[in-house]
Structure 1
Amino acid sequence: MSDRIASEKLRSKIMSADEAAQFVNHGDKVGMSGFTGAGYPKALPTAIANRAKEAHSAGNDYAIDLFTGASTAPDCDGVLAEADAIRWRMPYASDPIMRNKINSGSMGYSDIHLSHSGQQVEEGFFGQLNVAVIEVTRITEEGYIIPSSSVGNNVEWLNAAEKVILEVNSWQSADLEGMHDIWSVPALPNRIAVPINKPGDRIGKTYIEFDTDKVVAVVETNTADRNAPFKPVDDISKKIAGNFLDFLESEVAAGRLSYDGYIMQSGVGNVPNAVMAGLLESKFENIQAYTEVIQDGMVDLIDAGKMTVASATSFSLSPEYAEKMNNEAKRYRESIILRPQQISNHPEVIRRVGLIATNGLIEADIYGNVNSTNVSGSRVMNGIGGSGDFTRNGYISSFITPSEAKGGAISAIVPFASHIDHTEHDVMVVISEYGYADLRGLAPRERVAKMIALAHPDYRPLLEEYYERATSGDNKYMQTPHDLATAFDFHINLAKTGSMKG
């Protein structure tokens, strides 16, 4: 790998992952690269997990506090959680083993907006960051590092950490070099405007500069990212995508959107990919993305000439598309830009470029409050991620969801959201397979019929019955009427019977 590690100084630090893990001590605060299963360290997590298992078997304590960009993978979050090697975690987690540890109370978790997370660590909100473990594609002669398939919080971790461990992954395409745009937000109180006016603006460098004296170890790997296949697009996803496109058409008809130059942000998943498949056949041209992740659907739009530029902080690709990206990164870097997540999710830039934000949800209530993180208010699924960054600051904020889950046992539309991540003040449009509810300019009670119309027909009578109860009887306050005695009956029924229907 001499061509991947060109710095003589850092080449002298090459060692095994087990040797490098000796620099990570019990109680350390560790910042790792990684965002939606891309660009995370492949070897150190297992080596750290093995240290934890050895310590625990000897009756000793060993656990770290873990900071990342977003979710990682089973061979990072999963192995560390399984070994009880994590005391506390932020800002976003999707691994099922880790989720169970969090929900059982055996692991602490802070759900933090992605745009906030890097700054909060740099400013010392959580104490000193002891170690940064960063995957890179290449180390230059000068000691600059070329990020791999995500940037995430790498810049902030490198700045804040006392020690740095680099993993150089030869699986990552060398042609990713040139795709990145590294620009750092100046430290307080010397902030300036982020000089991005359009999604395609490049404002920084293609590499990360940092203090190479911090490097204590360099580890060589050749391991693929966690690239999970997307499920085949089903009829419900197609209907949701069609309703989303109908909403876009209504914006064109109203003169608020053009067929030329639509700027999008999209959450991750099968429904967003279905939306992008619909855009392939739409009238929209010269589509741009200012978002968090590059998904299969965006690659298809680029290939079809429908999308001119996609700016993000990471990939989230299927195995087939990851191979395609590795083989053709030199071509794709002409239209894809990977930035630090403090820039990709920056509220100032999101507001400036005028994007339409589209994210998923767990449930929404009849007044338009959205829960995107916690089932029945207590059981965390993943975290808020960057949805808050884009929802609050986008030109238009929208949420897409199937009307029900678990074979009809769970309704996505409920009387009162059991946890609220996005308030009625930030939610403009909600879309299910039954249509879209445009909530803009409506008083709370005017939203109710529109929201109930998005619910599965089996749940509509129950929602109407609840609203009738909330607006009658002794309730004399009519701005946002609730019957508090029965507001969570859907969730109580689910806990008691396994179905919100009771």
Structure 2
Amino acid sequence: MGSINHEERVRHEGLREKIMSAEQAASFVQNGMTLGVAGFTGAGYPKFVPTAIANRAKDAHARGEAFGIGMLTGASTSHDCDGVLAEANCINFRAPFQSDPAMRNHINAGNTHYVDMHLSHFEQQVRFGFYGDMDIALIEATGITPEGKIIPSMGIGTNNQWLKTAKKVIIEVNSRQSMMLDGMHDIPADLGEPPFRQPIPIVKPDDRIGTPYLECDLDKIIGIVMTDAPDRNSKFADPDENSKTIASQIIEFLDHEVKKGRLPKNLLPLQSGVGNVANAVLMGLQDSPFDDLMGYTEVLQDGMLDLVLSGKMKSASATALSFSPDALKRFNDNIEFLSDKLVLRPQEFTNHPEVIRRLGIIAMNAMIEADIYGNVNSTHIMGTKMMNGIGGSGDFTRNSHFSFFVSPSTAKGGAISTIVPMVSHHDHTEHDVMFLVTEQGFADLRGKSPRQRAKLIIDNCAHPDYRPMLQDYYDRAAKASGLQTPHLLNEALSWHQRFVETGDMRINKMRLAV
């Protein structure tokens, strides 16, 4: 800690007087408070104060005292934020997205109330008091200017709103972040509330409509904590054959749409969800026939970074940069080149439905399962256990020009089929899902009735081990009900129940033959 240059990072003299330890800052957090915490998909979250809060909670519990807080973020953080707080059993309420195993376990055990919601809606709902008062905002910054303006770090998320909403503010200033991030961010002015809200003047993904800095009433800032720690920086797995196959099918389809005149030669702005399959699609675009690509996404990962570095992509807009360690080095080594090609904005703008609709985004997101009619579950395992959350996938799916959902056709060594008779939890309805892609094939659902969709999805996307079972289910449902969307309600979720009871969705082949 002694090596951190306070004067270089905190250039406002008055705020330098508020520099304190993480433990001192954590002492402001009391039982029952609601915290607005920075963080979006493992980037830009506080690194030191959460552990100090967790230690306060443990000490209080050891004395037999209650200590629990509510925690609102942009999206997921990391184990040294979400995880340590969950393990200290001090998160009573959590919203709107998470991905930490410890936090997930507490949610699924019923120890933490969790609201999973569309990210584009969250800031407005906080402004209107849906979540009560916000006592303290805990955000991360790269530095503070002489005027007291805050230079954001690798993620913005909801920081702009938290600084306005919270009664008090604690800022972690992280010297691990490059000072050359200064100028990469775009923080728009307040556009008002309904019915007087102004249009968002983003007409191209790389438009800048605000200032590079976050601003805050300096009197609300009660503590500055100096840190030196990396973001989550998880390593992405090298694309496997399934991921490569999925990527090649999407690229082949996009090329077909260009030739049909339904897409321009440089496509439309691209959005990609987080994960290895989505990242593989972006990596596959390196060798595609498309140039001058544009990105308009919420999280910028390795694949999109490399598209920008190679010149395949002109620019990209996001709310957070979430890189593997190798990609982070490429980012820092080329940050001067990237400074005018990457734009980081608050998530209320990156995920805004109107902007997504107007720009004509091509959205690519991962799923847990889809049913034979095109409904998608992206949040719950077997319909009951939360995985991570819907995040921004709903914002992009419903409002995009093209909406893809991708996944391998099976999981758990073949014991689970990604394609099922009926999804065990609905996140994205058949009305919003245009394309399903597995390593088995591609289903173009545009303009298709439910019965037509069922044939495409079973024939093209289901694994051969499950295809006869799905066809048998559909045939019997169509014969028995004869309705618009054939289902056997007493069997629709039997695959999930069978897995819960036996550990495998597959049934004895003799039973199917009978």
Please classify the TM superposition score into its range, dividing by the shorter chain length.
over 0.9
State the distance in 1 between where 2:161 and 2:100 align: 23
- Matched residue, 1:433: 439
1:396 positional shift? 1.1
User: How many Å separate the matches in 1 of 2:446 and 2:500?
Assistant: 34
Report SS of the residue matched to 1:225: coil
Q: 2:205 aligns with which of 192, 199, 209?
A: 199
- 1:233 is paired with a residue whose SS is coil
Worse-superposed segment, 109-118 or 246-255? 246-255
Does structure 1 residue 472 correspond to structure 2 residue 491? no
SS at match of 1:472: helix
Q: Provide the secondary structure at the position in 1 that maps to 2:7.
A: coil
CA deviation after TM superposition for structure 1 residue 25, in Å: 0.8
Aligned with residue 350 of structure 1, among 352, 356, 360:
356
**Native 8 Å contact 1:262 1:284 kept in 2:** no
Q: Does 1:463 align with 2:470?
A: yes
CA contact (8 A) 1:262 1:286 kept: no
Equivalence map 1:396-475=2 (5 Å): 396-452=402-458, 453-473=460-480, 475=481
Q: How many Å separate the matches in 2 of 1:390 and 1:490?
A: 30
161-170 or 318-327: which moved more?
Answer: 318-327
Residue 185 of structure 1: CA displacement? 4.2
Structure 1: which 4+ aligned runs deviate by more than 6 Å?
A: none
* Map of 2:181 onto structure 1: 176
What one-letter code is carried by the residue in structure 1 that aligns with 2:402? I
Looking at structure 2, the residues matched to 236 and 390 of structure 1 have their Cα atoms a distance apart, in angstroms, of: 24
| Aligned mates of 2:266, 2:114 — CA distance in 1 | 42
Report the secondary structure of 2:334's partner residue: helix
Q: Residues of 1 paired with 2:267 and 2:11: CA distance?
A: 41
Q: Which runs of 5+ in 2 are unaligned?
A: 1-5, 508-514
Q: In 2, Cα distance between the equivalents of 1:361 and 1:185?
A: 34
> By how many angstroms is 1:9 displaced?
1.2
Matches within 5 A, 1:173-322: 173-189=178-194, 190-322=196-328
- The structural deviation recorded for 1:472 is 1.5
- Distance change >3 Å, CA 185–CA 243, structure 1 → 2: farther
Per-residue CA deviation, residues 68-104 of structure 1 (Å, 9 max, x unaligned), is: 0100000000000000010010000100011011001
1:48 to 50, 53, 59: 53
**Structure 1: runs of 5 or more not aligned:** none
Quote the sequence identity (%). 55
Q: CA RMSD in A?
A: 1.0
Displacement after TM superposition at 1:261 (Å): 4.5
- The Cα of 1:253 is off from its aligned counterpart by 2.5
Asked whether the 8 Å contact 2:184–2:342 carries over to 1, the reply is yes
Q: Which amino acid aligns with 1:354?
A: G
Structure 2 counterparts to residues 337-376 of structure 1, below 5 A: 337-376=343-382
Q: Distance in 1 between matches of 2:190 and 2:491?
A: 48
Q: 1:330: Cα distance to partner?
A: 2.2
CA contact (8 A) 2:375 2:430 kept: yes
CA contact (8 A) 1:69 1:152 kept: yes
TM-score, normalised relative to structure 1: 0.98
Counterpart position of 2:71? 66
Aligned residues: 500
Residue 17 of structure 1: aligned partner: 22
TM-score scaled by length of structure 2: 0.96
Q: Say yes or no: does 1:481 pair with 2:486.
A: yes
Q: Secondary structure at the match of 1:23?
A: coil
Q: Deviations over 1:315-360 (max 9, x none)?
A: 1100111123233322211210000000000111101111110100
Is contact 1:155–1:184 with CA below 8 Å preserved after alignment?
no
Task: For residue 186 of structure 1, report the CA deviation from its aligned partner.
Answer: 2.5
